[in-house]
Structure 1
Amino acid sequence: MKLSQILVLVFLFVLAFIPRLYKIDNPIADWHSWRQSDTAAVARDMAQNGINLLYPKAHNYLPMNGLPNPERYFLNEFPVYNAIVAILYKMFGINTIYARLVSVFFASLATVFLYLLTKKLINARVGFLAAVLFAILPFNIYYGRVVMPDPMHICFSIASLYFLSLWVYKQKISYAILTGLAWAVAMLTKPYAIVLLLPASYLVIRAFRLKAFKKPGLYIILALGLIPLALWRLHINQHPEGMFGSGWLINQGDIRFTGAFFRWLIFERMNRLIFATGGFVLFFFGLVSNRIKKEGWFFEFWLLAVIIYMTYFARGNVTHDYYQLPLVPVGCVLMAKGVDFLLKNGVGFMGKMINWFVALVLVLLMLAFGWYETRGFFNINHPEIIEAGQAVDQLTPKDARVIAPYQKDPAFLYQTQRNGWTDFDVVETMWQWIKQDGADYLVSVNYDDQTNYWLDRCQTLIRNEKFVIIDLQTCQEEQASPDDSSTLDVISM
């Protein structure tokens, strides 16, 4: 590789890396702290108690899927991201910054792979534009530094398609192996990477036609990609107590193809949040721009694969904005094609200047509106949970079990650095947690009916206007009336 090419790759990596350092020291209490704190809890548990990839554990004893979870299993994605973070924790000490830096690294590496893939299938200019847009897109900046496996998933998704393109053109077994391994990691972190079969199949069939089925590399890719996922799913299905109930993600409320479905995904997410109006215009310019022979319809098939995924997991995509992250890479390629389309199609000097100006304005609008929509994601809206968590860590034994009610959001419990529960329950169940499961303390940032119930019956460790820590081992059970359980219903998600 020439020095100039190396410099381009380094530039793109750094361009993506630097903006993702913004508020890198944020505690895990910003946007989507729920998902981040679960991921971070698994990494911290690995650092403290050993790395067990088959049985990752979070801090939460609260039943999952309605089943008791006394081992605190957190069986979702294969915990390769958590293990990497845990290794850094063991080397340098437990600090959220290291977890965020792992995500920043993979987001920056994804930028490089997007450039290489687009350069391979279109040209260097469009590849460079796509990578730059991917690096500076505000929505992508925020989600490129979260404590979640998604940046790693996106990185290996793009890498798998890039290595596949190399295998198609050079037919080396080494590239088939790299493709299969990258695709395996992508699917182990997020199983919906299986939709990449659509653009991958287009690329392979376009190159080899039916002769593709005679290529050993094809079977290497499929075996390396699919077998690890199948084994992992087989394993975690033996422990449903540690799995999230995910059926609701598909079409809860029959939202698919309703007006709300299209409004949320197209207008609110794609237009306002992700591509931020200016980028959305460029996105459509890219869709209608000319395609070169080498490119074919690859990126359209990639886009179609993402649309199929978003449609199938309709409720999940409407509920969570980060579910649209697989749209970002192919969206940035189409935006780059849109910019390239404008820059090449002006008539005369004045026409070219106008097109350059329009392209620049649209990119600036994307940055301005995108930052306006995402700037609040970095905020810590409830700093009291951090202060209360620090108090628990300072005032209670390291092996204490804590109830930290926060509407089942584990972010509060995570701040305490203790194992425990993330919500209240009815009185009888709470007493069971105290007597049988060893619940030692209740920490609350709300003086609501549930908290006051236990305040009336137990001694406090500390109490101020922001939070209270209650010693549950001092509670007087005989004062509890069964009638009170009606006021302590489980708080719904």
Structure 2
Amino acid sequence: MGLGGMGRRINGIFVLILVLGAVLRLKGVTNPYLDDQSWRQADTASMALNMLGHLGDFPDVFFPMLNYDGAGPQPVELEFPFLPYLLAWTWALLGWQDLWGRLWGICFSLLTLGGIYKFGKLALSERAGLWAAAFYAFIPLTTYYGRVVMPEPVAQAFSIWALVAIFSWRRNPTWIRLLGASILMSGAILAKLPQLMIFPVALMLGFYPFQRRLGKILVYSFLSLLLPMLYYSWVHLGAGEASQFVSGILSHQVMEGPTSYAEKLYKNLKYGLGLPILLALMGIALMVRKKVLGNEVHLGLILWSGISGVYLVVVCLKIPLDYYLIPLALPMVLLTGYTLDTWGGDSEGNGIPAFVVGALLVGLLWVNQILYYESKYQWDERLLTQAQWIRQHTEENSVLILSGSQPMTLYYSQRYGYRLIRDDLRAWLDLQELPGDYLVALPDSRGEDFWKRIESAYTQVGPGVYQIKDQQ
């Protein structure tokens, strides 16, 4: 039986999707920020930690500050700290617990689910929106990264609602709606700079065909891009050459990096996004067959897919981190929803084959998550034990030097410090120059000769903690 005419049952189906999506994202919700992508999560949380006591200091409170590479907070060039600011306020009101950051991530992920359903309902069909939301709820990549303390959940939520807003404006073109759509687009780009990829899609959805709409396009573009340009210019100039994170990623890792991680990318796509990719490709083929030039929604989704393909080759092939694939999830699930809706036929009972295939794939996604994504939830207890000892037994203003590059210890010990990131010989020389009080031996870092030299020169005062200041 088709979904047409089901009335309240449709709302019930969507609520069920939301509940199941929330349940999947609650897995490991009480874990510290030491599971997969712990570095990025600790970065986000440390920005929130550095905001405490300064929550009303506008605009300086929004300049991202991290705990490493200095004896105090270090300014860095990162995306606008929406999540850190919310997290800092939550800590100020309810106390410092990692749980709150994960719950905020889940809230934004569920907002994304709502936006997917809303967009599908407005631009495609109610059934397409339900299918798209269901796949987003179960895809392993979006499930895991829907409960992390990273900007990805925020960027996804802003992005889909920005497209909902501009498409709603198209149907009811008031200036208030255009302003709202512009603000949401600004939020998407501020939350994550690569979300600029959806800006051309928004232009297609809102203004195609473009004749006689140049004025409104310019207004929307100006309002959408003004705040991101001001913010990213501010952090670029204020962070300094040593901390160019946003513009540095593309110039160094992508444009200059000779390595391509084709095998790694294939595995990330296979295990993280899974079989729905095939349905998304089928959706593109179906749209092309229907002569899409007169349909702004089909054109927008095809354009989005093309931009995603370029992003996949230019960025994801060069950076072997699976969370860079997250921007691909939105167009993929919408195209998957369109495919199953089109395949399902009309509302007179022709939807059974599509329902069977869709339900089977959703089930396989859940199995895929169990088989291949369990390791993402694991974390090393030694890091937390060590950081807690430092926090309890060292001076609050003590400066740490970490034996490796991973900075999570600084966040959990609530200390500032430096990292030894060069080879063992140069790390020893750097250690003599850096103004630190304690050297922290991170698990599985450095070679045996390095530690023999450390043990002969310094006293171990805690679990992998060496006092170095008074002995240099």
Quote how far apart the aligned CAs of 1:150 are.
0.8
SS of residue paired to 2:205 = helix
User: One-letter code of the match for 1:227?
Assistant: L
Q: Partners of 1:198 and 1:161 in 2: how far apart?
A: 11
Give the 5 Å matches for 1:165-176: 165-176=167-178
1:73 maps to what in 2?
A: 75
Quote how far apart the aligned CAs of 1:399 are.
1.7
Quote how far apart the aligned CAs of 1:113 are.
0.7
CA distance 1:252–1:320, shift in 2 (3 Å): farther
User: One-letter code of the match for 1:189?
Assistant: A
2:257 maps to what in 1?
A: 253
Q: Partners of 2:230 and 2:176 in 1: how far apart?
A: 24
User: One-letter code of the match for 1:332?
Assistant: V
Alpha-carbon deviations, 1:94-134, whole Å to 9, x = none? 11111111111111001101111111111101101111111
User: In the comparison of the two structures, how many residue pairs are matched?
Assistant: 446
User: One-letter code of the match for 2:391?
Assistant: D
Quote how far apart the aligned CAs of 1:11 are.
4.6
SS of residue paired to 1:289 = helix
Quote how far apart the aligned CAs of 1:88 are.
0.6
1:491 maps to what in 2?
A: none
- Say whether residues 1:451 and 2:448 are aligned partners: no
Quote how far apart the aligned CAs of 1:305 are.
2.1
2:26 maps to which of 21, 30, 34? 21
Give the 5 Å matches for 1:25-64: 25-47=30-52, 50=55, 52-61=60-69
CA distance 1:352–1:230, shift in 2 (3 Å): closer
1:470 maps to what in 2?
A: 466
* Greater Cα shift, 385-394 or 108-117: 385-394
Alpha-carbon deviations, 1:238-283, whole Å to 9, x = none? 232332232223234345xx7x54x544x3233x123223x23323
Contact 2:344 2:353 in 1 (8 A): no
SS of residue paired to 2:437 = strand
Quote how far apart the aligned CAs of 1:196 are.
1.4
SS of residue paired to 1:211 = coil
Q: Which runs of 5+ in 2 are unaligned?
A: 1-6
Alpha-carbon deviations, 1:276-308, whole Å to 9, x = none? 23x233233323335685733221112122223
User: One-letter code of the match for 2:169?
Assistant: W
Q: Partners of 2:109 and 2:370 in 1: how far apart?
A: 18
1:423 maps to which of 420, 423, 427? 420
- Say whether residues 1:99 and 2:101 are aligned partners: yes
1:230 maps to what in 2?
A: 229
Quote how far apart the aligned CAs of 1:172 are.
1.2
2:279 maps to what in 1?
A: 282
- Say whether residues 1:131 and 2:133 are aligned partners: yes
Contact 2:141 2:323 in 1 (8 A): no
1:148 maps to what in 2?
A: 150
CA distance 1:306–1:13, shift in 2 (3 Å): same
CA distance 1:474–1:178, shift in 2 (3 Å): same
Q: Which protein, 1 or 2, shows the higher relative CO under an 8 Å CA cutoff with sep ≥ 6?
A: 2
User: One-letter code of the match for 1:138?
Assistant: P
Alpha-carbon deviations, 1:162-208, whole Å to 9, x = none? 1000111110112111111111111112112222122122223425x
Contact 2:42 2:407 in 1 (8 A): yes
User: One-letter code of the match for 2:95?
Assistant: G
CA distance 1:27–1:319, shift in 2 (3 Å): same
Quote how far apart the aligned CAs of 1:9 are.
5.9
Give the structure-1-normalised TM-score. 0.83
Quote how far apart the aligned CAs of 1:223 are.
2.0
Give the 5 Å matches for 1:16-415: 16-47=21-52, 50=55, 52-61=60-69, 71-207=73-209, 209-215=210-216, 218-238=217-237, 239-240=239-240, 241-244=242-245, 245-246=248-249, 247-254=251-258, 261=262, 263-265=263-265, 267-270=266-269, 272-277=270-275, 279-290=276-287, 293=295, 295-316=297-318, 318-344=319-345, 356-380=355-379, 382-406=380-404, 408-415=405-412
Alpha-carbon deviations, 1:447-466, whole Å to 9, x = none? 8333332221222212xxxx
Contact 2:17 2:137 in 1 (8 A): yes
Quote how far apart the aligned CAs of 1:4 are.
7.3
Q: Partners of 2:120 and 2:283 in 1: how far apart?
A: 13
Q: Which runs of 5+ in 1 are unaligned?
A: 63-68, 478-493
SS of residue paired to 1:53 = helix
SS of residue paired to 1:460 = strand
Q: Partners of 1:194 and 1:284 in 2: how far apart?
A: 23
SS of residue paired to 2:51 = helix
- Deviation beyond 4 Å, 4+ runs, structure 1: 2-12, 48-51, 290-294, 351-356
User: One-letter code of the match for 1:413?
Assistant: L
- Say whether residues 1:442 and 2:439 are aligned partners: yes
SS of residue paired to 2:297 = coil
Quote how far apart the aligned CAs of 1:48 are.
5.1
User: One-letter code of the match for 2:286?
Assistant: S
CA distance 1:414–1:450, shift in 2 (3 Å): farther
Give the structure-2-normalised TM-score. 0.86
SS of residue paired to 2:308 = helix
CA distance 1:10–1:221, shift in 2 (3 Å): farther
Quote how far apart the aligned CAs of 1:47 are.
2.0
SS of residue paired to 1:296 = helix
User: One-letter code of the match for 1:44?
Assistant: L
Q: Partners of 1:275 and 1:457 in 2: how far apart?
A: 50
Contact 1:61 1:420 in 2 (8 A): yes
Contact 1:106 1:155 in 2 (8 A): yes
User: One-letter code of the match for 2:66?
Assistant: A
User: One-letter code of the match for 2:30?
Assistant: D
User: One-letter code of the match for 1:415?
Assistant: Y
* Greater Cα shift, 75-84 or 243-252: 243-252
SS of residue paired to 1:23 = coil
Alpha-carbon deviations, 1:126-160, whole Å to 9, x = none? 10111111112221110001110111001101111
SS of residue paired to 2:104 = helix
Q: Partners of 1:58 and 1:127 in 2: how far apart?
A: 39
Q: Partners of 1:132 and 1:178 in 2: how far apart?
A: 27
